[in-house]
Amino acid sequence: MELLFLGTSAMVPTKTRNHSAIFLSHQGEGVLLDCGEGTQRQLRIAGIRPTRITRICISHWDGDHIFGLPGLLQTLSNSKEKMPISIYGPRGFRKDMARMMEAFPFDNQLDIEIKEGEGIMLDGRLHISSFSVEHKIPTVGFIVMEKGKLRINVARAEKEGITGRALGELQDGKDIVWKGKTVRAADITYPVPPKKVVYIPDTLFCKACIANAKDADLIICDSTYAADLEEKAAAYKHMTAAQAGQVANLANAKKLILTHFSQRYKSPKQLIDDARLHFSNVAAAHDFMKVKV
């Protein structure tokens, strides 16, 4: 999986940080996590065609996470490449989408599938599920996982003399007949744990964040404020960078990336330092930052 951060600011964009949006790509799937104002422009700067987007995951209906959505849908509708698109959001999202489409009328030619609420699941090349967090309006985080993979036990395969396409069939989990003998995929392959990326948007520090981020390869987390503004964070139902570090630590994650920064921070150094008091492998996102998982 490869992630491209298109926007890393909180409510107010800055000269260097756009509103929230992340593009995750994997084997032909293009998942857009939130769609803040200016997302189309960020995609163009990054050289990503909007038609590469196959799914859109909206965490909640705050403007800095959805103001780019009507324009993006209009662009996709006007494109010659009209592919079906799935859009997921929190409880009440279907009604919000209907009101938005009424407010921004255009000749919609898209085949749009809308799903809402906690526990959304969809299998494909990627498995996506949602979980509720604690913000001032209905809000969900998202878990994006690869499908499970099998790898060939090379020593066993060489011992059996198996070569060519037969190896591919075994890696696909299929039993084969080789030289008149049945060979079980389970005897020649071993499972590779799927990569897991967890997106935790605007929320208070809560148990749901820790439980759903368990053993994640990467957590991308709301870090609007530094630790010295914890009371302000609680009042607006956001997390501090220190709390994001606690989530990563308690969830036994491999890596944490902080994002959704208040405009007050000209540098993320204080936020990184706060998070590292609780978790060592921390980075601060910036617009157009690329990460491979």
Whether residues 29 and 136 share a domain: the answer is yes
Query: What gap in Å lies between CA 90 and CA 113, rounded to an integer?
Result: 14
- Residue 183 sits at φ, ψ, to 5 deg, of -115, 120
Contact 224, 262 (CB under 8 A): yes
Whether residues 123 and 208 share a domain: the answer is yes
| pTM (2 d.p.) | 0.88
Whether residues 12 and 62 share a domain: the answer is yes
Whether residues 160 and 50 share a domain: the answer is no
Residues of the domain holding 156: 150-190
Give the pLDDT of residue 122.
Answer: 66
Give the pLDDT of residue 137.
Answer: 97
What's CA 4's distance to the chain center, in Å?
10
pLDDT per residue over 231-259, tens digit each? 999 999 999 999 999 999 999 999 999 99
Give the pLDDT of residue 76.
Answer: 93
Whether residues 143 and 155 share a domain: the answer is no
How many folded domains does the chain comprise? 2
Whether residues 282 and 160 share a domain: the answer is no
Whether residues 170 and 86 share a domain: the answer is no
Whether residues 9 and 135 share a domain: the answer is yes
Whether residues 226 and 177 share a domain: the answer is no
Give the pLDDT of residue 123.
Answer: 65
Catalytic residue ranges = 64
Q: Which of 190, 206, 240 is the last residue of a domain?
A: 190
Give the pLDDT of residue 162.
Answer: 92
Query: What gap in Å lies between CA 26 and CA 8, rounded to an integer?
Result: 21
Report DSSP letters for 146-161, one per residue. Answer: EPPEEEE-HHHHHHHT
Q: Please name the amino acid found at residue 64.
A: D
Q: Which of 158, 190, 222 is the last residue of a domain?
A: 190
Whether residues 126 and 209 share a domain: the answer is yes
pLDDT per residue over 110-124, tens digit each? 889 999 988 776 667
Whether residues 198 and 225 share a domain: the answer is yes
Contacts of 215 (CB under 8 A, 6+ apart): 196, 251, 252, 253
The structure tokens listed for 194 are: 């799927």
Whether residues 116 and 260 share a domain: the answer is yes
pLDDT per residue over 19-57, tens digit each? 999 999 998 899 999 999 999 999 999 999 999 999 999
Domain holding 107: CATH number?
3.60.15.10
- Mean pLDDT by runs of 10 across the 293 residues of the chain is 97 97 94 98 97 96 97 92 89 94 86 87 81 97 89 91 91 90 91 93 97 98 98 97 98 98 97 98 98 97
